[in-house]
Structure 1
Amino acid sequence: MDELLFFDTLRQGLWVAVITSVPILTVALVVGLAVGLFQALTSIQEMTLTFVPKLGAIIGVFWLCMGFMTQTLVAFFHDTLIPLIAGG
């Protein structure tokens, strides 16, 4: 395998990782900011208040986006990695 093919496959793999992680990371960021703002406004400094809502939101978004993530990863494997392995 030449270097150009290797780096192109690596670039595609990293892009698939970014695409599949964006929904979860976005929700974690938004919920974290909302909880942080709530804590700053009310002066409540409870550690579980930051963890539990963020975990719940992440689990909910993961459950909703699980089909999209699976389709994206399977398409990457079928279209990119399996032909490279079989061809070479």
Structure 2
Amino acid sequence: MDATDAVEMVRQALWVALLISAPVLVAGMLVGLVIGFLQALTQIQEQTVAFVPKIVVMAIVLMITLPWVLIQLLEYSHEVIANIPAML
């Protein structure tokens, strides 16, 4: 295993991490923007108002995408394990 193989493995790991975290983070960001917009319209400046909807939506998105996340992690794990002999 040389440096390019190691860099490629780290790149793939970062890509998988970004891919599996994106749905939850995007959902939280969108809910935060909508709640922030509604707070600006109604002039309610309470920080806890935005917290509960974000947590609920992020939990729902996580439950919905969990099978896909597990598939992505399993595929990456199988690829890494299959490449172990080439690393030695």
TM-score (norm 1): 0.93
**2:48 corresponding residue in structure 1:** 48
**Shift in Å at residue 48 of structure 1?**
1.3
**Shift in Å at residue 84 of structure 1?**
3.1
Cα deviation code 1:27-53 (max 9, x no counterpart):
011000000000000011112111000
TM-score (norm 2): 0.93
Identity of counterpart residues, as a percentage? 37
Unmatched runs of 5 consecutive residues or more in structure 2: none
Q: Which runs of structure 1 show a deviation greater than 2 angstroms over 4 or more consecutive aligned residues?
A: none
Q: Matched residues in 1 for 2:2 and 2:83: separation?
A: 12
Cα deviation code 1:40-81 (max 9, x no counterpart):
0001111211100000000000000000000000100002x1
RMSD: 0.9
Unmatched runs of 5 consecutive residues or more in structure 1: none
